[in-house]
Amino acid sequence: MAVVSFVVIIGNPRPGSRTARAASAVAAAVAAAADVPGTPEIIDLADLAPHLLAADPPAAVAEATAKVAAADVILVASPTYKGTYTGLLKVFLDRFGAGSLTGKAALPLLVLGAPQHALAVEVHLRPLLVELGATVPTPGLALLEADLDRLDSLAKEWAAQIPPAVRGALTAGAAR
Amino acid sequence: MAVVSFVVIIGNPRPGSRTARAASAVAAAVAAAADVPGTPEIIDLADLAPHLLAADPPAAVAEATAKVAAADVILVASPTYKGTYTGLLKVFLDRFGAGSLTGKAALPLLVLGAPQHALAVEVHLRPLLVELGATVPTPGLALLEADLDRLDSLAKEWAAQIPPAVRGALTAGAAR
Amino acid sequence: MAVVSFVVIIGNPRPGSRTARAASAVAAAVAAAADVPGTPEIIDLADLAPHLLAADPPAAVAEATAKVAAADVILVASPTYKGTYTGLLKVFLDRFGAGSLTGKAALPLLVLGAPQHALAVEVHLRPLLVELGATVPTPGLALLEADLDRLDSLAKEWAAQIPPAVRGALTAGAAR
Amino acid sequence: MAVVSFVVIIGNPRPGSRTARAASAVAAAVAAAADVPGTPEIIDLADLAPHLLAADPPAAVAEATAKVAAADVILVASPTYKGTYTGLLKVFLDRFGAGSLTGKAALPLLVLGAPQHALAVEVHLRPLLVELGATVPTPGLALLEADLDRLDSLAKEWAAQIPPAVRGALTAGAAR
């Protein structure tokens, strides 16, 4: 199996967010289910936020975009703000051209305060990843904040439901 | 390779529609690219339309739903009416319960009169298939009517862009 | 004040549906809040369903479309099936051309089994009415089935939140 | 007629953008059609961008949010980036709480590079404004970059199509 680069993007402006915790658990569950070796690399946009719209961003911003550009699999996580992903996440993804994530597999994850926003993962976040060119082979995952006390089991259940062939598409030169 | 059942649903109320022509070409291109043996089976809803909302539908309706229930891969095609898929297609798919297409791979295809409706394939048709439980591993395909004179080459280009691992997910017990 | 024609379309295939009950309550609340004289006219598609896709529909179908074509204000109500409005509703609305409801005000209403589908009223139903040309001056209303025991008070609260000028836009030659 | 505060938000990161030009023309056409006195106030986010995600933003950011909070009518304009509004616009609007624009009328405007993204104004931008609590009484306006050479006439045509009662809802204590 080829070495797979698995990157997790966390679009919550607050450091140490529930989004970060949820994304790590889902990434671990997907890596286990799909037999991805190594540890996913985390890009927490809370760290980069003050620089993302700066006129002259520090090297850390270019390093983060380079990691995404080199990834095979990307988990894209955000809380819902105003019924959709955060502006912070979109500002980061706006650094990439349309179609520039072609050949990568992307997994959309939203952490919801209210169940009323659950469709946002399919109608807002996933179309954004498709526009960027990513292959999005699974349904998006919408996790309620109220359910995060059983985060690990929810993450495992979700990863287990990914059909084996799609798990294959996530890895092993996956989308190559 | 396991035998794969590939079904094409055509949601255009007019017999012999451009949608039917486009769906057949795309199905053939996908079957060739993913090495699916046999011929896709066509369900043209133009034939079933008068019966789909009838109080006592003929056996042909139950036969059509049984074919879908037994399929491994489903190509779901519709023209855009009022900026989204047709009511005819939705009436047919409303016969299936939420989640009842779990384990099947679905490919969304819209034939557009105007490019302004292109996003409908991602924001309207694909979420419907996800709600039904299908795995939708590729982006949707939006074909302009004005481009149908080069239908075969467009279909081949689209099928060729499907990553190999996702092609695998489409077939070979694919989504099993 | 000009006489206003207020029509309610019910897109539930079952006669005597909760959708019908909810739509009637919301229509009454809107009519009271906006000071619309008379009684809204109900088009219950459960009655027309067997004929809507028939090759040779009876006069009742043409009468229903004529009522919509003559309306000033239209309340469009549906349950959520597969995370969006019903195929039955779409089949009826597909009888109207794009832009043919120009000059009419439309109010979108969905009755939800699960809160997870709440966004459907804004991302699926409202864009359909806009595509038909209708003015949709209010947010859509998403009512949970579980909340229907306090239907009348919810309907009144919603109608009361419509800004006075928008209530004016709903009536009195409203959208003229 | 009460004095109306009309604010234009421009969500393009580049100063002197086509979005800014389009927004000004549409605002002028709406103001003329709806008989709004005075001149719309412009908030060009290109000026604020470097500060919007800063840890300690300058007073100009709080002044801009105060203008929006005091507005009666808001025109919200963005180019399409990746098939939807910009991250810059969302970052600014994320400063407002859900429902905090209640009582204001909002007009959505997207400037499109490609017609394929036209639905974004209805399925992405408008639901965001509704979530913020704004009344969005008109359809969104999607302007193609290629059509900007006849911007003034397109803006006037669009403003003229707004029904008189909805124009009233935009102004005159509009949504009050």
| ipTM rounded to 2 decimals | 0.94
Residue A43 CB neighbour total at 10 angstroms: 20
Spatial CA neighbour of C123 closest among D126, B111, D96: D126
Chain B residues with CB within 8 Å of chain A CB: 103, 119, 122-123, 126-127, 130, 135-139, 163-166, 168-169, 172-176
Contact C138 D139 (CB under 8 A): no
Where residue C163 falls among pLDDT bands split at 50, 70, 90?
confident
CA–CA min distance A105, chain B (Å)? 10
* Res A1 pLDDT > 50: no
**Quick one: tokens of B16?**
């012999």
Chain B residues with CB within 8 Å of chain D CB: 83, 114-120, 123, 142
Contact C89 B87 (CB under 8 A): yes
Where residue A50 falls among pLDDT bands split at 50, 70, 90?
very high
Say if CB B26 and CB B77 are below 8 A apart.
Answer: yes
Test the B interface: residue of C12, C81, C100, C136 with most B CBs within 10 Å: C81
**Residue written as token pair 């499907």:** B162
Spatial CA neighbour of D72 closest among D41, D108, D116: D41
**Quick one: tokens of D95?**
């400063």
Where residue D171 falls among pLDDT bands split at 50, 70, 90?
low
Where residue A165 falls among pLDDT bands split at 50, 70, 90?
low
pLDDT at C4: 76
Contacts of C119 in chain D (CB under 8 A): 127
* Res A38 pLDDT > 90: no
Contact C123 A118 (CB under 8 A): no
| Alpha helices (H) along D4-118 | 18-33, 45-52, 59-70, 87-93
pLDDT at C2: 55
Contacts of C124 in chain B (CB under 8 A): 84, 124
What mean pLDDT comes out for the span C9-16?
Answer: 97
Q: Which residues of chain B have pLDDT under 50?
A: 1, 172-176
Test the C interface: residue of D102, D117, D122 with most C CBs within 10 Å: D122
Q: Which residues pair with C14 in a beta bridge?
A: none
pLDDT digits (tens, 9 = 90+) for D53-88: 998 999 999 999 999 999 999 999 999 999 999 999
pLDDT at D117: 97
> CA gyration radius for chain B?
15
Contacts of A132 in chain D (CB under 8 A): 82
Torsion of CA A10, A11, A16, A18, to 10 degrees: -90
Can you tell me the distance from the alpha carbon of A20 to that of A18, in angstroms, rounded to the nearest whole number?
5
Contact C82 B92 (CB under 8 A): no
Chain C residues with CB within 8 Å of chain D CB: 103, 119, 122-123, 126-127, 130, 135-139, 163-166, 168-169, 172-176
DSSP secondary structure, B66-83, as one string: HHHHH-SEEEEEEE-BTT
* Res D17 pLDDT > 90: yes
pLDDT digits (tens, 9 = 90+) for A116-159: 999 999 999 999 999 999 999 889 999 999 999 999 999 999 99
Torsion of CA B105, D81, A125, D26, to 10 degrees: -110
Contacts of A122 in chain B (CB under 8 A): 126-127, 130
CA–CA min distance C135, chain D (Å)? 6
For D83, the closest of A83, A96, A127 (CB atoms) is: A127
* Res C81 pLDDT > 80: yes
Contact C115 A116 (CB under 8 A): yes
Chain D residues with CB within 8 Å of chain C CB: 103, 119, 122-123, 126-127, 130, 135-139, 163-166, 168-169, 172-176
Across chain D, mean pLDDT equals: 91
Computed from CA positions of residues A62, A67, A73, A75, in that sequence, does the dihedral angle turn out positive or negative? negative
Contacts of A51 in chain D (CB under 8 A): 53
pLDDT at A175: 41
pLDDT at C36: 80
The domain segmentation of chain B, as residue ranges, is 6-174
For B115, the closest of D83, D115, D123 (CB atoms) is: D115
For B82, the closest of C51, C82, C128 (CB atoms) is: C128
| Domain range B6-174, its CATH number among 3.40.50.1820, 3.40.190.100, 3.40.50.360, 3.40.140.10 | 3.40.50.360
Full 3-state SS string of A11-34:
CCCCCCCHHHHHHHHHHHHHHHHC
pLDDT digits (tens, 9 = 90+) for D128-164: 999 999 999 889 999 999 999 999 999 999 998 887 7
* Res D115 pLDDT > 90: yes
Contact A119 C117 (CB under 8 A): yes
Q: Which residues pair with A75 in a beta bridge?
A: A8, A107
Contact D139 C126 (CB under 8 A): no
The pLDDT > 70 percentage for chain D reads: 93
